[in-house]
Structure 1
Amino acid sequence: MNYMASLTLLAGVWLLAIISPGPDFAATVQYATARSRREGIMVALGITSAIAIWIVGSMLGMGILMARLSWLVELMRIGGALYLIYLGVRSIMSAHRAAPEKVDIVPQKSGLSAWRVGFITNISNPKAVVFFSSLFVVILPANPPLWLQVASAALMLVMAAGWFCIVACLFSLAPITRAYRHTKRWIDYVTGGIFIALGIRLAVER
């Protein structure tokens, strides 16, 4: 069995998944541009923490458990949808507040708050466990050795953390933050609309 080929294919598919714009990307960009690089990175780490739970859970058979607990899936789906809509409404409301000319020193609790936003944004979609379970079933061999499972999880987490931290760093660069200040209202409207649309889609999906 060519395990390296499996890891390479997994890396390629996972890269396409994480770079596709979605709630995780929107949350990282919003915090990096509107607040600070540090908070953008904390959002990225929160997202990665949630991904770690989905990966480990999928490998331990969480998908089978959740298939039997349909009420839990529904509860997570509705809760996640409401949270995304809340983020959207908050973003639209912030469109009417002027952007600060410089970012103040961020207190420790703000970093934790940003991490929590990233974590909840990702963990709020219970369909993620279906995606990860399907990904492992299709790409990894049947009954993969433990080292391959650990390597797959580590690879995916490093890629996710790396990508979203890069996004946070890029969107916190001075030229981009200056452009954000000049277009803050419209960016907040668009970002808020995206969050609300994603929340509604999550709420109505079956």
Structure 2
Amino acid sequence: MSWLPLLPLLGVWILVVMSPGPDFLIVLRYSAGGSRRSGVRAAAGVVTGIGVWAVAGLFGVTVLVQRFEWLYTTARVAGALFLVAFGVATIRAARRQSPPAYSDTADSDTASADDAAPAAATPVNTHGPGRLREWRAGLLTNLANPKALVFFGALFASLLPHRTDLVMRAVTLGAMLAVAFAWFSAVAFLAGSPWITRGYRRLKKRLDLLTGGLFVGMGALLIPR
């Protein structure tokens, strides 16, 4: 099977993955407030979450969720609570005393004291646990939105050619994940530029308050009505 029938799907995916949302914000915050490496680790967590939703959508888990609506509702409530909790933790950390100044080295592995996922008040160290925390923050931010499962189910049902074999499905999934990682890594690289990090540090409190408010708002939108 040629790549030509898959181009519409990949085109839509590129537009979707580049649209601003919680994933973009978490990578931006870790990069501008910490380092490019921190942002890339958060990006890897985001892409891991995308992979989970994409595999579920590709193999028909959407049908199961539609049949048992309480599963979707439970996941949606849990995701909403996570985003709200993350936003509140970010706002609370921003309102406390400012942390010590960062180093001007763009690729420093030191993350800010309030850059952890919901328990954001704990300082992030530069060794394994801190790096895992950055990845986990990206993963949980992405998994917090179960609407992604519905999106992937609809995307594959409408744009993935029928009779696509397993190998081509795997190749398509790999291409989608590669696009996502390339985009979020580019965001991390640009946001980790010295002039952006310096600006972020000068306006850190206001920007963190804004970011926290956006996460709270996004979480509130996920709460079932």
TM over 0.5: yes
Match of 1:120 in 2: 140
Unaligned runs of 5+ in 2: 111-124
Residue 114 (structure 2) aligns with: none
Query: Percent of aligned positions with the same letter in both sequences?
Result: 37
Structure 1 residue 177 and structure 2 residue 197: aligned?
yes
8 Å contact kept, 1:28–1:118: yes
8 A Cα contact 1:39 1:110, kept in partner: no
Does residue 108 of structure 1 match 2:107? no
Match of 1:202 in 2: 222
Please say if residues 95 and 188 of structure 1, whose CA atoms lie closer than 8 Å, have aligned partners that are also in contact: yes
Shift of 1:51: 0.9
Please show how residues 33-48 of structure 1 align to structure 2 within 5 Å. 33-48=32-47
Q: In the alignment, what sits opposite 1:9?
A: 8
Q: Is the 8 A contact 1:87 1:195 kept in 2?
A: yes
Aligned partners of 2:9 and 2:159 also within 8 Å: yes
Match among 161, 164, 167 for residue 147 of structure 1: 167
Structure 2 SS opposite 1:50: helix
Which one-letter code corresponds to 1:162 in the other structure? A
Count of residues in Structure 1 that have an aligned counterpart in Structure 2: 204
Aligned match of 2:115: none
Aligned-pair CA distance for 1:7: 2.1
RMSD between superposed Cα atoms in Å: 1.6
Superposed counterparts of 1:13-32, under 5 Å: 13-32=12-31
Shift of residue 68 of structure 1? 2.1
After TM superposition, give the deviation of residue 94 of structure 1 in Å: 2.3
Instruction: Describe the superposition over 1:126-169 as per-residue Cα deviations: whole angstroms up to 9, x where unpaired.
Output: 22111111111111111212232112101100001111111111
What secondary structure is seen at the aligned counterpart in 2 of 1:20?
A: coil
Q: CA deviation at 1:18?
A: 0.7
**More helix by proportion, 1 or 2?**
1
TM-score normalised to structure 1 length: 0.93
Match of 1:98 in 2: 98
Q: Deviations for 1:105-137, whole angstroms, at most 9, x for unmatched residues?
A: 712111111111111111122221111111111
